[in-house]
Homo-oligomer: A and B are copies of this chain.
Amino acid sequence: MKAYLAGPDVFRADAAEIAARRKELCATYGVEALHPFDQALDGLAAHDLAGAIFRANIAMMREADVVIAELSPFRSPSADPGTAFELGFAFAAGTPVYGFSAAAEPLFERTVGGVSRDNLEVLPDGRLLHADGLVVEDFGLADNLMLIEAITASGGRFFTSAGGPWAAPGGLDPFEACLAAASKRLAFAAAAEPPTHKKTAGTTHG
């Protein structure tokens, strides 16, 4: 089983260590991790690099049985747009998507900060306007509805750090909670498949 690890960890200074740690954890669950940070693109000129990274990430996603995406807020109240793109790609490709975040609060609370609902302007159509002049999504979800609903619709799960409605059970690290759920599901799906390979092998050897 192969899992593509999407997320903004590639933008952290210690990206290589985070990737190594997560890949080791995947291995303990019998999962091969495909990680954007692993690409061997050293020889490329700068102007070719973006396209090469794009193609390598797309190829890894096509190879993956599952995508585990970190949706921790990135320079905004929401997930990073590269990860959001990859969630959309995976969902369209029929790949189950799992999500996790370090942020425990729903998107609405993260966006408005300490401002109470009563202090937000209500538009004639009922939507709530933030002080930044933009409407705040108010569905009680952890991030933009397209991201969270795609996880649900694909049969995936979403977990956060402790303290909110989506806290991983037993105080588990939310990435590991995704990994555990995804590996269990895919092992079950593999076991439930008709044993066509075994039959073919039997014919060949018999």
Contacts and interface: CB of A to CB of B under 8 A. Distances in A.
Interface of A: 8, 10-13, 15-16, 46-47, 49-51, 53-55, 57, 74-82, 84-93, 111, 123, 125, 129, 132-135, 137, 139-141, 143-150, 152-153
A141 B50 contact: yes
A7 to B, nearest CB: 12
Contact of A54 (B53, B74, B81, B153): B153
A145 B50 contact: yes
Given A54-B149, A75-B78, A88-B88, 6 more contacts: A12-B134, A49-B139, A54-B150, A76-B76, A85-B88, A89-B92
Number of copies: 2
A143 B82 CA distance: 9
20 contacts: A10-B135, A12-B134, A12-B135, A13-B129, A15-B135, A50-B141, A51-B149, A54-B146, A75-B76, A75-B111, A75-B132, A75-B134, A76-B76, A78-B81, A81-B81, A81-B143, A81-B146, A85-B85, A85-B144, A86-B88
A13 B78 contact: no
A129 B55 CA distance: 25
**Interface of A (DSSP majority class):** helix
A52 to B, nearest CB: 9
Contacts of A134: 8, 11-12, 74-75
- Considering residues A11, A12, A46, A150, which has the most beta carbons from chain B within 10 angstroms of its beta carbon? A11
A128 to B, nearest CB: 11
B146 A82 contact: yes
B74 A75 contact: no
